[in-house]
Amino acid sequence: MQDKIIELETKYSFQEDLLQELNQEVYRQRLQLDEVVREFGILKAQLAELLTQDAKLNKIDQSDEKPPHY
């Protein structure tokens, strides 16, 4: 009976260690995901700004051109 208890305590100890390692990995991945989401937001804003600038430049360029029937 004593051997079984020792075996169970040993398994429990290893499971606790594994659970702690897994929790740390999940935490690290959460930090990485937060960083990726932040960077994606920045890129999204930059892309929107570039598209707006491009649209403005295209309007200016088109207003300077003569219509095709001239």
Handedness of CA 49, 50, 55, 61 (dihedral sign): positive
Q: What percent of the chain has pLDDT over 70?
A: 86
pLDDT in tens, 42-63: 999 999 999 999 888 887 666 6
What is the pLDDT, as a whole number, of residue 70?
58
pTM of the model: 0.64
What is the pLDDT, as a whole number, of residue 4?
92
Region 21-49: what's the mean pLDDT? 98
Annotate the chain with three-state secondary structure.
CHHHHHHHHHHHHHHHHHHHHHHHHHHHHHHHHHHHHHHHHHHHHHHHHHHHHHHHHHHHHHHHCCCCCC
